[in-house]
Amino acid sequence: MQTNEILIPGVMNDEMIRHARGELPYEACGIIAGVAGKKAVKFYPARNELKSETRYNIAPEDLYSILMELEKKGLDVWGIFHSHPSSPAYPSATDIKQSYYPDSYYLIVSFLNPNKPELRVFKIDGEEVAEMVVIICQP
Ligand SMILES: [Zn+2]
């Protein structure tokens, strides 16, 4: 496995897409718990408090309860998920400006083609955006 490859369980991919589809036309968001730098364990959907088609902010009370649960389970914030209802699965200028977690992955699902949602994953460090190679794994 190359260092830029990451594994996403197929079930989790389906959960993220289902959550994001349910939030349309707004952007959806959530947190992926896991072991830092290793594997993704669980997807936690959250509310986008902005209810916006082009921006998101994880509702603070959702973020708080998710972080408490991660703490209890000894898991890290592995990734930060959001959707792009009508733009490509690439970080927007706002996404880059507001990426405060260089150690987390940024997962974006695009519904540009609603019949074929596309997941792409990035590391964002300052202005630097690096795309990861996503491998959807089946158990
Ligand atoms: Zn975005």
* DSSP class of 58: B
Q: Is residue 91 part of a domain?
A: yes
Q: Is residue 92 part of a domain?
A: yes
Q: Please name which of 132, 82, 134, 89 lies closest in space to residue 110, comparing C-alpha atoms.
A: 89
Distance 96 CA to ligand 1 centre (A): 8
> Cβ distance 89 to 110 under 8 Å?
yes
Q: Give me the residues paired with residue 131 across strands.
A: 122
What's the whole-model pTM score? 0.94
Which domain CATH number covers 39? 3.40.140.10
67-94 pLDDT, tens digit each: 999 999 999 999 999 999 999 999 999 9
pLDDT at 1 over 80: no
Q: What integer is the mean pLDDT of 2-25? A: 94
95-104 pLDDT, tens digit each: 999 998 888 9
Instruction: Determine what percent of the chain is predicted with pLDDT higher than 90.
Output: 88
25-65 pLDDT, tens digit each: 999 999 999 987 678 999 999 999 999 999 999 999 999 99
Distance 28 CA to ligand 1 centre (A): 10
Neighbours of ion ligand 1 (CB under 5 A): 92, 95
Q: What is the full DSSP assignment across 101-135? A: -TTSEEEEEE-SSTTS-EEEEEEEETTEEEE-EEE
Q: Is residue 76 part of a domain?
A: yes
Alpha-carbon span 88 to 91, nearest angstrom: 8
Q: Is residue 118 part of a domain?
A: yes
Alpha-carbon span 4 to 22, nearest angstrom: 30
Distance 87 CA to ligand 1 centre (A): 9
**Domain of residue 76, residue span:** 32-137
Domain count, the chain: 1
Q: Is residue 37 part of a domain?
A: yes
